[in-house]
């Protein structure tokens, strides 16, 4: 189980403290999933960092009683002068698994060919994303943390991600963070909305969807200004 | 309950796993696989020490002290490497590694411990190799009391590690510390006992210099190496007290810095 209790996050800025959100509570059981909807700047990435443990909440508690992944397809933790294979070895050492049985899957999924043994700095953006996603799949987690904005690729890549994540691992929990309400509606059994520093919970995805669409419609967009 | 199930033991297992992973990653990141690769971990401090030994010999420092200048340079400069390099490396430690914190088991302190370990391993190996070479060719005598050398070395390692954690974590909290550290390290070098023995200084200067913990470490090592050719001045307990205080402060600041990591 994952639970957040009265979590808030404040950043110090030059113009005083900036509160991203406050008093956020929700929990997620093993095998279940939830979508977190929010517009740009609503605090989605901050939420990801707090849940993954990269940053600590200013107040409140986050309790993790299942193994939660790092943000899916997150490529920021690559050491760029290490090869793709070295990065796989690093991840496997950190999580205490043997890398050798995973190599065929990584080779097959990333389609990197000989580049798997080349430094990551020579990779294209697409190659980097494929490797990052494959590494996320290499370690077994109870709950996957998905920042939709990080999983960018062509249709084929998306289909394969979909298969790996939502079909092969459909028994796992996941948290999908997105600004795309359609996507959350398609994949999640429940959803919450981050807006104006608060978290709104709903009885079902449908309600969250209409609230979120409504909140977008009401807010002035760039075009209005 | 099996021993592996105790939370403390489980924590140790995870942390050693993480440290191993970070060590390997850091080694390849810093030295690469080409051009001798990981050997540079030892090669770099060796070259520095050799250069300093050559310069000091050429300048003819400390003639007539009874101790060959090469021996002063090797013991002195190697000691500087112990506290200076680890601290330099830890200064940007969090900044350069914070994306790794997305992995639950990687902690800020692991990043520091990795860098400290690498520097200490490098400086120690360089010290051992150079000592062997110089003793073999006869430019240096074998230590009269090896245990004393090892104790002094251990004290310097402790001092270097605690200073590195303190300065590294404080640098993450305030860039000012990072800026100030480099001039401070530069100024500490001539005072650290690298180039002199305390006995050679005027009496009133001795007591001032002996306020610096690392001076005691160098003196212990030289006492072990040279015996009583030149009297040495040190207090192992004073150095241990300083290291203890530094370690506690270091651990405290590391904890604070971990809480404040921001992206």
Q: What is the DSSP string of A55-117?
A: S--SEEEEEE-S-EEEETT--TT--TTSBHHHHHHHHHHHHT--SGGGHHHHHHHH--GGGGG
Which of A56, A64, A77 has its CB closest to that of B100? Answer: A77
Q: Quick check: B8 contacting A, CB < 8 Å?
A: no
- Closest residue on chain A to B100 (Cα): A77
pLDDT < 50: residue spans in chain B: none
Q: Tell me which of A92-101, A119-128, A148-157, A213-222 is least confident.
A: A213-222
CB contact under 8 A, B28 and A54: no
pLDDT at residue A225 above 50? no
Q: What is the pLDDT of residues B84-131, one digit of tens each?
A: 999 999 998 898 898 899 998 999 999 999 999 999 999 999 999 999
**Residue B97 to residue B168: CA distance in whole angstroms:** 12
Residue-level pLDDT at A219: 56
DSSP letter for each residue of B96-155: HHGGGGGSTT--HHHHHHHHHHHHHHHHHHHHHHHHHHHHHHTSSPPPS-HHHHHHHHHH
Among residues of chain A, what percentage have pLDDT more than 70? 96
List CB contacts (< 8 A) between A49 and chain B: 102, 263
Which of B13, B100, B102 has its CB closest to that of A71? Answer: B102
Which of B13, B21, B99 has its CB closest to that of A93? Answer: B21
pLDDT at residue A151 above 80? no
Q: Quick check: B10 contacting A, CB < 8 Å?
A: no
Strands A198-201 and A191-195: antiparallel
ipTM: 0.87
How far does A89 lie from chain B, in Å, by closest CA?
Answer: 8
**Residue B24 to residue A192: CA distance in whole angstroms:** 41
| Prediction pTM value | 0.90
Q: Quick check: B18 contacting A, CB < 8 Å?
A: yes
- Closest residue on chain A to B33 (Cα): A82
Which of A64, A70, A82 has its CB closest to that of B103? Answer: A70
How far does B49 lie from chain A, in Å, by closest CA?
Answer: 29
Which of B24, B104, B263 has its CB closest to that of A68? Answer: B104
Q: What is the pLDDT of residues A45-81, one digit of tens each?
A: 899 999 998 999 999 999 999 999 999 888 888 888 8
How far does A77 lie from chain B, in Å, by closest CA?
Answer: 5
Angle between helices A125-138 and A155-162 in degrees, nearest 10: 0
**Residue B210 to residue B106: CA distance in whole angstroms:** 38
CB contact under 8 A, B101 and A54: yes
The residues in B 35-54 lying below 8 A from A, measured between CB atoms, are: none
Chain pair A-B, CB pairs under 8 angstroms: 68
How confident is the model over A132-161, as a mean pLDDT? 88
Q: Which residues is A18 bridged to in the sheet?
A: A11
Q: Quick check: B12 contacting A, CB < 8 Å?
A: no
Among residues of chain B, what percentage have pLDDT more than 90? 61
- Start-end of H helices in chain B: 7-31, 40-59, 69-91, 93-97, 108-137, 146-173, 175-191, 203-209, 213-226, 236-259
Residue-level pLDDT at A222: 52
List CB contacts (< 8 A) between A68 and chain B: 104
**Residue A78 to residue B28: CA distance in whole angstroms:** 13
Are the CB atoms for B105 and A95 separated by under 8 Å?
yes
CB contact under 8 A, A94 and B32: no
- Report residue A216's pLDDT band, with 50, 70 and 90 as the boundaries: confident
Sole residue written with tokens 């310097």: B156
Residue-level pLDDT at B41: 84
- Report residue A7's pLDDT band, with 50, 70 and 90 as the boundaries: very high
**Residue A190 to residue A171: CA distance in whole angstroms:** 16
Angle between helices B146-173 and B108-137 in degrees, nearest 10: 150
Are the CB atoms for B82 and B156 separated by under 8 Å?
yes
Q: How far apart, in Å, are the Cα atoms of A68 and each of A149, A160, A165, A187? A: 19, 21, 14, 19
CB contact under 8 A, A49 and B98: no
The sign of the torsion formed by the CA atoms of B31, B33, B37, B38 equals positive
Residue-level pLDDT at A224: 44
List CB contacts (< 8 A) between B29 and chain A: 79, 81-82
């Amino acid at each position: 189980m994952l639970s957040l209790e009265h979590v808030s996050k404040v950043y110090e800025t030059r113009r005083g403290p900036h509160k991203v959100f406050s008093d956020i509570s929700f929990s997620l059981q093993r095998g279940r999933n939830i979508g977190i909807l929010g517009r740009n700047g609503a605090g989605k990435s901050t939420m990801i960092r707090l849940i993954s443990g990269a940053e600590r909440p200013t107040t409140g508690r986050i309790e993790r009683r299942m193994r939660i992944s790092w943000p899916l397809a997150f490529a920021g933790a690559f050491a760029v002068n290490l090869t793709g294979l070295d990065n796989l070895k690093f991840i496997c050492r950190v999580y205490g698994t043997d890398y050798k049985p995973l190599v065929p899957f990584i080779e097959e999924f990333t389609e990197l060919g000989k580049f798997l043994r080349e430094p990551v700095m020579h990779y294209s953006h697409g190659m980097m994303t494929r490797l990052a996603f494959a590494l996320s799949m290499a370690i077994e987690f109870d709950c996957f943390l998905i920042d939709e904005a990080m999983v960018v690729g062509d249709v084929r890549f998306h289909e394969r991600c979909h298969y790996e994540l939502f079909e092969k691992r459909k028994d796992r929990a996941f948290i999908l963070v997105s600004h795309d309400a359609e996507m959350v509606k398609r994949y999640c059994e429940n959803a919450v909305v981050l807006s104006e520093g608060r978290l709104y919970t709903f009885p079902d995805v449908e309600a969250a969807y209409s609230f979120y669409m409504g909140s977008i419609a009401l807010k002035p967009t760039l075009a209005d200004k | 309950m099996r021993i592996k199930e105790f939370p403390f033991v489980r924590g140790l297992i995870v942390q050693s796993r993480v440290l191993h992973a970070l060590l390997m990653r850091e080694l390849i990141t810093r030295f690469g696989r080409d051009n001798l690769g990981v050997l540079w971990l030892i090669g770099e401090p060796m070259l520095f020490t050799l250069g300093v030994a050559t310069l000091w010999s050429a300048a003819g420092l400390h003639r007539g002290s009874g101790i060959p200048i090469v021996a002063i340079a090797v013991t002195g400069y190697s000691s500087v490497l112990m506290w200076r390099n680890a601290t330099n490396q830890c200064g940007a430690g969090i900044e350069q590694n914070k994306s790794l914190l997305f992995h639950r088991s990687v902690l800020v302190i692991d990043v520091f411990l990795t860098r400290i370990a690498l520097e200490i391993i490098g400086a120690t190996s360089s010290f051992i190799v150079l000592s062997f070479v110089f003793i073999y060719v006869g430019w240096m005598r074998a230590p009269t009391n090896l245990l004393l050398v090892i104790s002094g070395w251990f004290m310097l390692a402790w001092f270097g590690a605690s200073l590195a954690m303190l300065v590294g974590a404080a640098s993450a909290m305030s860039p000012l510390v990072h800026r100030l550290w480099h001039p401070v390290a530069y100024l500490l070098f001539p005072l650290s006992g690298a180039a002199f023995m305390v006995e050679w200084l005027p009496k009133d200067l001795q007591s001032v210099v002996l306020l610096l913990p690392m001076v005691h470490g160098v003196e212990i090592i030289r006492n072990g190496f040279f015996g009583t050719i030149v009297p040495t001045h040190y207090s192992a307990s004073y150095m241990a007290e300083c290291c203890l205080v530094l370690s506690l402060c270091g651990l405290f600041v590391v904890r604070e810095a971990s809480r404040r990591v921001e992206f």
